[in-house]
A and B are shown apart, each in its own frame.
Chain A
Amino acid sequence: MAHLSLQGISKDFGNGSFAVKNAQLDVEDGEFVVLVGPSGCGKSTLLNMIAGLEEITEGSLKINGKLCNDLPSKDRDIAMVFQNYALYPHMSVAKNMAFSLKLRKVEKSEINRRVQEAARVLDISHLLDRLPKELSGGQRQRVAIGRAIVRQPSIFLFDEPLSNLDAKLRVQMRVEIRDLHHRLGVTAIYVTHDQTEAMTMGDRIVVMRDGLIQQTAKPLEIYNHPVNRFVAGFIGSPAMNFFEGQLARTDLGWAFHQPKGIHLSLPKILQAFAEAQGEGPITLGLRPEVIGSAQAYRDPNAPKLHGKIRVIEPLGAETYLYCDSETSNWTARVEQGDWSIGQNVALPLLSTRLHFFDAKTDVSLPIEQQTNAMATSQMGIFNEDTFA
């Protein structure tokens, strides 16, 4: 059990370029924190620094309040699960799991006990004598986790552990890891590039980009209140649609306007926001589920988005439509229906659930509290499929 604190941590290569810059993060005891971001964003470097596999050039890393910057990784009381499992190919499953304990000169009977226990927990007891190459991907994954468990570390580090598994297995392991975490209650830091994993697994999510932490928050907080266009686009699947246009004052009040494109009158609740913002360029963000949803159809006054269907992806419960309009391409998440390619559609919008971003800085523009409260209640409860 441990509390982890990163204060102003940087990894810099000395020639002006850096992998991680000024990372600030506090991980509570027993918390499951997910580092997410596109490849090259510095999340793995950050994890390696926590693990002691990479040198920290600036800042301080504290575990349970103790400065650990220069502590060798073996003394940090951590365990790590690697992307490629990193099982020693020449050792049997049992030996792989026992290796670190052996190095620590743990008593043999104790090693045995812990290995058996971990194997039982992970349901791999029958595999203990096999070599890694004789195991399936999922089994290897379990062994890799088992190897971490037997250590009984105070912090678990996961480096994209599921990325080598096929989709179905990934979903299954996701649940298992989460379950395991609940049972063991150990602090865990989990790196992934997959936003679905991040959303489903993390108590908190840290979104990173180009070495900088963009936002640290609980999953829904991130989904509903992304701090900028990057976070908004990265979290959520299919990704948020962006439209670049103008805020304009019309006879009917404020509207979002694209020359030759969308014209969207803003609902009442957003008038004050627009007033504060004033006329000028702005980016509109629309999540796919906002376009053409059942709820939107129920509102006769809902503004409509016009476009021509390019691709249809029927998923069963819902259907994704990839549409082209004159100025932009966008994705809508609609109910099953009689859609056909080339069809011209006009889909209603839930105009209460709009996101706006500064056209220049991409920073999220604050919309009043009450609006958000309404939006959230309208969203209902997420289920897993939302992010699949």
Chain B
Amino acid sequence: MTVEKNIQTQPVSLQWPRSEAIPRPWLGLWRRWKHKKLIWVYLVLGGSALFLALPFYYMLVTSFQSTADLARNEISLWVTHPTLDPLRKLLDGTRYLGAAWNSLIIAALSTIGNIFLCPLAGYAFAKHKFPGRDQLFFVLLSTMMVPGAVLLVPSFLLARDFGWINSYLPLIVPGLASIFFVFLSRQFISKIPKDLIQAARVDGCSELRIYFQIILPLCRPLLASIGILSFLGSWNGFIGPMIYLLDENKYTIPLVISMLQGRFGGQENVQMAGSLLSIVPALLLFFIFQKQIVSSFANSGLKE
């Protein structure tokens, strides 16, 4: 097999309909309808989609409803008098934007750490030979078996001992080089042909140069996976921020959202505005980077 073939065999990515697939959409549409068998597929998918999208639809409708409309003793399936009041109330009553900034900082720092450290370690485990390599890797893998919940109490005590309570450090540092991403990197890099590294060595590359100039440029899909997955993991994290952060100015978005029930009790529209503000950007990002995100998640499940 050739090098190039090898590198393209990586990660599964879902195939997306290319534009040239249907040169004249309406004609294609018509032709496809002829596959009458598929009608029941559309029916089942459409019906289920109604249920799947219901929560989002509810959120959308409710977050633009006025408190007066909500107080009426009946539900309305659409917004009769759309208003931005709930959003305004939310932004006035919480430090939502500050929380978004905090979440961003935490997620960005831990993502940078993972992107930098994990492929490096994965590379060493995949392509270097050194005493104790397989044993060390096994030990690392087995730490992945330890459920996060088991570490909750002692991690708190450790963070306290380090003086890290009410800071972002316990949310960032322990996850700077996630073992899962090291594992993922090793899987990915071991598929890069050995020849390439040897060629670089013959060409006169140092170890660091091989990593940065040869391996990393080939790892773009891997880096995207690590970046997206670690960013999301950090961005959506809840229990950690809840335990470690005291000061409201330092809260992250999930924490703010979790407090809406108490803070805006009885004001469903404001609560939903909170959900909306956290979900819509995610949906937008997902819409734009759908391909990358989907393949990142698909790769996370790729096992040899």
Chain A residues near B (Cβ < 8 Å) = 48, 51-53, 72-74, 78-80, 82-90, 99-100, 103-104, 132-133, 137, 140, 159, 164
Contact = CB atoms under 8 A, between A and B. Distances in A.
Contact of A74 (B6, B204, B217, B218): B204
Interface stretch (B76-84, B134-142, B175-183, B190-198): B190-198
Contacts of B198: 48, 51, 53, 80, 82, 86
Contacts, number: 72
B2 A140 contact: yes
Contact of B3 (A72, A87, A159): A87
Nearest to B205: A103
B4 A89 contact: yes
Contacts of B205: 74, 103
B201 A53 contact: yes
7 contacts: A53-B198, A79-B202, A84-B2, A84-B3, A86-B196, A88-B199, A132-B3
B123 to A, nearest CB: 16
A76 B278 CA distance: 59
B105 interface: no
A85 B199 CA distance: 9
Contact of B204 (A82, A87, A103, A133): A103
A85 B3 contact: yes
Contact of B201 (A73, A83, A85): A73
Contact of B193 (A53, A80, A86): A86
A89 B7 contact: yes
Secondary structure of the B side of the interface? Answer: helix
A114 to B, nearest CB: 14
Given A86-B199, A89-B3, 11 more contacts: A73-B201, A74-B203, A78-B202, A79-B202, A82-B195, A84-B6, A86-B196, A87-B4, A89-B7, A133-B4, A140-B2
Interface centre among A73, A82, A132 (most CB of B within 10 A): A82
A132 B196 CA distance: 13
Contact of B203 (A84, A99, A132, A164): A99
A88 B214 contact: yes
Interface in B161-209: 193, 195-196, 198-205, 209
A340 to B, nearest CB: 41
A137 B2 contact: yes
A90 B217 contact: yes
B284 interface: no
A103 B218 CA distance: 19
Contacts of A53: 198, 201-202
Contacts of A84: 1-3, 6, 193, 195-196
Pairs of residues from A and B, 10 with the lowest C-beta to C-beta distance, nearest first: A74-B204, A100-B203, A86-B195, A86-B199, A82-B195, A90-B217, A103-B204, A133-B4, A84-B3, A86-B196
Interface in B11-45: none
B3 A80 contact: no
Nearest to A78: B202
Nearest to A83: B195
A53 B194 CA distance: 11
A330 to B, nearest CB: 36
B207 to A, nearest CB: 11
A86 B204 contact: no
Contacts of A83: 195
Nearest to A159: B195
A133 B205 CA distance: 23
A164 B6 CA distance: 13
Contacts of B199: 80, 82, 86, 88
A137 B214 CA distance: 21
A90 B217 CA distance: 7
